[in-house]
Structure 1
Amino acid sequence: MSTFRHVLGLWLVPDFSAVERGEIPPPHVNYDALDTRDVAETLSKFNDCGEDVAISVPNDAVDQVTVQFRLTGRVAGSPQCEDFALELLNMAERTGYLDTRGCWAELHALPNRRHAPPPVLLLFVVSGDFDGVMVWSQQLRMRLGIRAADMLKQIAGDVADADYQGHLPSELAMYFGRIFGIPYRRECLVTGLASSPVPY
């Protein structure tokens, strides 16, 4: 059976309040130092639901400058960043090590990834058989408290915009704060941004 791959986006909210008060300098991330294997293992352990899937994390992420510039039209591209996800999916189909620096270079508003703002969108790939990947992805949403993941709400058509918002558990928020150098608020979203063809 062929491997099915699904690119998920975890949307995060850096807490810049201490920066705005002048208590700390603006943080920057050197993505050369990002331990992608540790990030993948952290996500996998957090959402361990018994499915035989693999989690892969690229050596880069999307910062708020890129998203804001896309929202205002200063740079081309959708603020949902599906183009990042498609490039990531194409790379994951070819290789296990997701070095996205080259293929994402022209997509970023700020191309220097050794001195980049902290991420607001963490993309990663879930790989395995189709059913396992879908169960893992749904379980992630449920563990983050995303009410829209409840199948009963979907069947009843009782899903409001607020139901798509989740909340990071404190240990996961603290983990992201540690590796990216700034506290993160609890609010989060999960979006499916690209995937392999659905098997029939």
Structure 2
Amino acid sequence: MSTFRHVLGLWLVPDFSAVERGEIPPPHVNYDALDTRDVAETLSKFNDCGEDVAISVPNDAVDQVTVQFRLTGRAAGSPQCDDFALELLNMAERTAYLDTRGCWAELHALPNRRQAPPPVLLLFVVSGDFDGVMVWSQQLRMRLGIRAADMLKQIAGDVADADYQGHLPSELAMYFGRIFGIPYRRECLVTGLASSPVPY
């Protein structure tokens, strides 16, 4: 059976309040130093639901400058950043090591990834058989408290915009704060941005 791949986006909210008060300098991330294997293992352990899937994390992420530039029309591309996801999916089909620096270089508003703002969108690939990947992805949403992941709400058509917002557990928020150098608020979203063709 062929491997099915699904690119998920975890939307995060950096807490810049201490920066705004002048208590700390604006943080920067050196993506050369990002331990992508550790990030993948952390996500895998957090959402360990018994499915035989692999989690892969690229050596880059999307910061708020890119998203804001796209929202205001100062940069081309959708603010959902599905073009980042498509490039990531294409790379994941070819290689296990996801070095996206080259293919994402033209997509970033700020191309220097050794001194980049902290991420607001962490993209990663879930790989395995179709059913396992879908179960894992759904379980992630449920573990983050995203009410829209409840199948009963979907069947009843009782899904409001607020139901798509989740909340990071404190340990996961603290983990992201540690590796990206700034506290993260608990609010989060999960979006499916690209995937392999659905098997029949």
TM-score bracket, shorter-length normalisation:
over 0.9
Structure 2 Cα separation of the partners of residues 75 and 166 of structure 1: 28
Instruction: Determine the structure 2 residue equivalent to 1:138.
Output: 138
Deviations 1:61-116 (A, max 9, x none): 00000000000000100000000000000000000000000000000000000000
Report the secondary structure of 1:124's partner residue. Answer: strand
1:130 is displaced (CA, Å) by 0.0
Distance 2:168 2:184 in 1: 9
- TM-score for both structures, normalised by structure 2: 1.00
* 1:122-160 deviations in Å (ceiling 9; x for gaps): 000000000000000000000000000000000000000
SS of equivalent to 2:93: helix
The structural deviation recorded for 1:191 is: 0.0
Alignment partner, residue 48 of structure 1: 48
Number of residue-to-residue matches in the alignment:
200
RMSD over aligned CA atoms reads 0.1
CA distance in 1, matches of 2:114, 2:99: 14
Deviation at 1:37, TM superposition (A): 0.0
2:167 is matched with 167
1:53, distance to aligned residue in structure 2 (A): 0.0
CA displacement at 1:165 relative to structure 2: 0.0
Q: Matched residues in 1 for 2:63 and 2:192: separation?
A: 18
Separation of aligned partners in 2, 1:156 and 1:131: 23
Take 2:47 and 2:54, find their aligned partners in 1: how far apart are those partners? 12
Deviation at 1:185, TM superposition (A): 0.0
The alpha carbon displacement at 1:170 in A equals: 0.0
Give the SS at the match of 2:115: coil
Q: For residue 154 of structure 2, what is the aligned residue in structure 1?
A: 154
Residue in 2 that maps onto 1:181: 181
Identity across matched positions, percent:
98
- TM-score, structure 1 length as denominator? 1.00
- Deviation sequence 1:38-62 (CA, Å, 0-9, x none): 0000000000000000000000000
Q: CA deviation at 1:4?
A: 0.0
Q: Secondary structure at the match of 1:182?
A: coil
1:172 to partner: Cα distance: 0.0
* 1-structure distance, mates of 2:117, 2:87: 21
CA distance in 2, matches of 1:20, 1:112: 23
Give 5+ residue unaligned stretches, structure 1. none
Q: Which runs of 5+ in 2 are unaligned?
A: none
What CA distance in whole angstroms lies between the structure 1 residues aligned with 2:58 and 2:176? 15
